[in-house]
Structure 1
Amino acid sequence: MYRVILVDDEPIILSGIKFLIDWTAQNCEIVGTARNGQQALELIDKAAPDIVICDIRMPVKSGIELLEEANERENAPVFIMLTNYQDFDLARQTLRLRAVDYLVKTQLDPAALESSLQMAKAECDKRGRLACATIEADYMQTQRTEALRAAALDILRDADNLAARGVLARQGAFSRFCLMQLMLDVSALPTISSFSRKDRRQLLDWECDVVEKLAQNLLDHFILALPDYDAQSLLLLCWELDQMPDLDLFYSKLSMASANTTQVRLALLCSDRFDGPQALGEATVQLAQLRQYYYLSGGDVLTSRCLLGTMPALQPVEVHDLCNRLALELRAKNKGPALAIIQKAADLLAKTPHLRREGIHCCSELYSMCSMVLAPLAPEGGGFFSDTGDILSGIQSLATRAQVLDWLAMLGRQLEAQMDALESGHSDPLEKAREYVRQHMDERILLQEAAAAAGLSPSYLSALFKKEYNQNFMDFVNETKMRRACQLIREGKYRIYEISYMLSFENAYYFTRVFRRHVGMTPTEYQRRLRPDSET
């Protein structure tokens, strides 16, 4: 297997390339990343890569300087260079220095990267440097890391787990340690409701990669663990802390990196610093209290300061009677009283301190009762109240009381739309969804919101849209936005980055990729065809 390292000073580019293709299918493995030429040179000496994918313009040491120095070494790796449009002269210079290819960042896609990899692997073969099996030290390091991750998860579930405590204690993990938990909020992702299990796994792998890279800049000794691929959080066990890390700075960088890559929203929960395995129980209890505080009150960075003062006494939330009354009103087709019951449940949760599982149970019971009555009446079995598996699974991912209340508000809207449709005897849900997109094209459009406007579940809207128009719903969203972008470019009042912002894209780089996919050229090329002297 060919050993590859990635070199770029932008974390988003590193993560983007890492998850752009299936490296295993290309007979490649990524053995390291670096943020500048000097780090890369040290990594080349340490990791002995076969292929280096490297940016030309970087701090400390440029890509060309790195290429020149690497070529002086025995068994020099093969280079693929990354460039911008303005770097073409430098790109040609790298080819004279035996780089095998260069890739333009704004046009980078899986096919281009795989094509360059084929050229690089052929050059490796020509130089007689086929990839070697992973050396024993790498294997042992991998085994050690996996053992620490498993032990960290075990002590989070059971602080008295002697085997797990022993594994961690032998690594010194209880010396001046703290526990951090990163709560992941995926509700803002436009298509999260239609994500497959494979999509969720890739998303969490990507988020883990972002967190691990940033943690390496802040923490000397830590282990990052993902409880499972259905989890809504990541665990960080940090040790050998002379002082507590700057949590606000860490959170700020994490939030920015996540917004630019996975778009997952984060909250950071952190225990106090403890010392010795005997303090582990206290640390896990404190983290559990912070999770409960986060559910009830939300927040970005939560520490033990949040727990000062009197914590509200948790009370049970009983919704059995509400569910029975809801069933009676639904069967009688009394829309107003039925909606009032949903609102009463929301008011009860809003004013009553309760465990997260109580809020989840309330949502599940109310939805199940609606589904039992309304699903048989839904056309073609495709209404929101027929897609029970996906909806109940989505309820389990609600992480805060605010999300629970938002979900109940959405349930009320879906219930009202379904009962209105039954009363009128007809509806055109797809046209409602398309009209919603047209009315909100300057905003960030979520599949869940369009589905609510159409009175369908997100997954059913996605499937029905594909069946009716042979097009994914989010492709229609982007197509509509690109028509608007072309109109704005023709008007000539705005620069490209301003149009990207107006259409609610996270950054101009992603806007350019979407524009090129739908229009067949970049926004700048489109603009130049209209006005050769225009600027971006």
Structure 2
Amino acid sequence: MFKVLIVDDEPMIREGLRTIVDWASEGFEIVDTASNGKEGLEKFGRLAPDLTIVDIRMPGMSGLDLIEKVRQDNSEAHFLILSGYAEFDYAKRAIVSGVSGYLLKPVDEEELIDELRRVREMLERERTARSARMEQDAALPKAQLVEELLFEDEPLEETQRARLAEALGVAAPAYRIALLDVHAGAEAESRQLAALRQRLKEMFEEKGDAIMFSAGPHIGLLLVRQSYVERGEALRSALLEAAGGLAFHAARGPAVPELAAVALSFREAEGLLHARFFFESGEIIERESYEERFAGTREPAAGEGDSEEGPPLGDKLYYALDIRSRDAADKVLAELDRQVLLRRMDESAARSEYSRALSLAVGKLSSGEASAAELSRKFQSLLLSDVNHSQTYGELKQRVRSRLGELIDRFGGANKDTVLKQMIDFIRRNYSENLKLEVLAEMFGYNSGYLGKLFKNYTGEYFNAFVDKVRVEKAKELLAQGLKVHQVAARVGYSNADYFHAKFRKYVGTSPSAFRSEASGDQQGGEH
């Protein structure tokens, strides 16, 4: 028997259709009725009738609206339209919606029987064709059926997904997709992957625990065994055993109750696998572990981070390297790590962020004395190689930290002089930088107020005054060489020439231009 649903807002019509013909003799059974389009749509989804007889005009959702809603997911449903109106516009819209027939009220018994017999013939032909497709599908490899379920160019309709799921012939309370990204060496990749696929087939597919399939560059598993569906650790243990020491990452999408919905699990697993760089080899990435890894982070608001307080991280790292402090370098790396996670950068952006900071820091070191410059350039190349060739984010952080420690050691390690002596040396080397007591205090691990008092007691000068005096002394040298005032101001760290002029007069007692004229023997004075 084919199932029939009747949808009409008139009770007499609904009851009349029940009795006007002998439905059973025509091969049909009325499974329910509905009094409006919304109710009809709900019952259609629940009952999946083979034929729906629907009134074309109803309050709220019309019959044609109902049909168009159903057609979004089901192109094979059959409808007979009932109407007391013979307007051609309605008929045209019904034909576009793919209805099987169009009947005018009051319904004629013979006309209805003719329509039912015509629809029954179509349904029987479709049933025969469906059975043939099922037999054909059953002969296909299960991997191919899974791939059809997941990768069709056009989205599959509900009935098509159900057909493929049935052809797979596996039954379980829930299903889940796992994807593997394997890291094999270029030369041995083909042989290693072939061996891994064989082990996965033996451990998963031959035992009926999963169906293995191809997903682009990844190996896919449709998980059926419930211990693998429910417990990530059980799956991880099995995958580690199958990998036999081969490095891999895996992602597991959410569990779904029906095979027809397994594409949802696949899409999430695919998205999670994009974050594999931030997970260690052999980890199973899931929605929960992803959120935990980036816990407390968020996307920055528009414009946020464009103008950070203090110097860029590359400058901070340079300061740490210049004072030969491992602790200070570790603090900057921790801040860099926080920024990467805060912004939820992808692999490419994270590598770029580290490359930018390291290039700036080590590049500044290389502008010093010849021996230091040569060593810095060598380590800059090594550091960028570490950033670009690390397999995971954890490996990248470890290699960079270790390499910077090695660089500090090659420079002679931490200076045994006092912190204050180191500060003075640092200022004399970096007078042209935007030096701030707060930044140096952070580098040396002191409270800025306390360090400022120590500095004043040691040098007799406040920090800013000491920096100004060092800059002015260097400015006197450059002016004596004949450089113009604005050039000297920029070279010694003053972006504002008027501010430089005021500072120079304060400490020297004359203007920069006058000093330059006197030092160079130019009696005309002024800039040229």
Give your verdict on TM over 0.5: no
Shorter chain as denominator, the TM-score bin is 0.3 to 0.5
TM-score using structure 1 length: 0.35
